[in-house]
């Protein structure tokens, strides 16, 4: 019985260490800035590691009234590119915390 309690205590310590690492990762992701691009770099969207949009940059050459729809599509594409990059970073960081176990689909920090 003592062995089971010892195992439980070790498991609790591991859980607390993982929780601490998760909190550190969340703080790191909030400070992280990832840039998504589209239109060969004419549109850039910067998001943090929590997928919060921080900045949108549009090259002045795109400011032609007839190209309004194209610019809007490029902003959406750049935002999606940035979010995709955030997902990759989160997955890589989580592998270090979870010992390589994959995150369940749809898992959010």
* pLDDT digits 0-9 by tens, 90-105: 888 888 777 766 656 6
Asked if residue 76 is part of any domain, the answer here is: yes
Report yes or no on 6 lying in a domain: yes
In a domain, 106, yes or no: no
Would 108 be classed as within a structural domain?
no
Per residue in 27-79, pLDDT tens? 888 889 999 999 999 999 999 888 888 889 999 898 888 888 988 899 999 99
pTM: 0.62
Is 68 a member of any domain?
yes
Distance CA 52, CA 78 (A): 13
> CATH no. for residue 55?
3.30.1310.10
Neighbours of 18 (CB within 10 A): 13
Contacts 24+ apart (CB under 8 A), 21-26: 21/97, 22/97, 22/109, 25/93, 25/94, 25/97, 25/109, 26/50, 26/109
The confidence score (pLDDT) of residue 68 equals 87
103 in a domain, yes or no?
no
Tally the domains of the chain.
1
Domain containing residue 48:
2-98
Is residue 81 pLDDT above 80, yes or no? yes
Residue at 105 is within a domain: no
In a domain, 109, yes or no: no
């Amino acid at each position: 019985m003592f062995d089971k309690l010892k195992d439980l205590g070790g498991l609790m310590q591991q859980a607390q260490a993982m929780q601490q690492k998760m909190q550190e990762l969340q703080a790191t992701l909030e400070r992280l800035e990832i840039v998504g691009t589209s239109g060969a770099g004419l549109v850039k969207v910067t998001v943090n590691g929590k997928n919060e949009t921080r900045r949108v940059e549009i090259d002045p050459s795109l400011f032609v009234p007839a190209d309004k729809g194209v610019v809007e599509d490029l902003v959406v594409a750049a935002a999606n590119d940035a979010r995709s990059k955030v997902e990759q970073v989160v997955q890589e960081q989580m592998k270090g915390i979870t010992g390589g176990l994959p995150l369940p689909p749809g898992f959010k920090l």
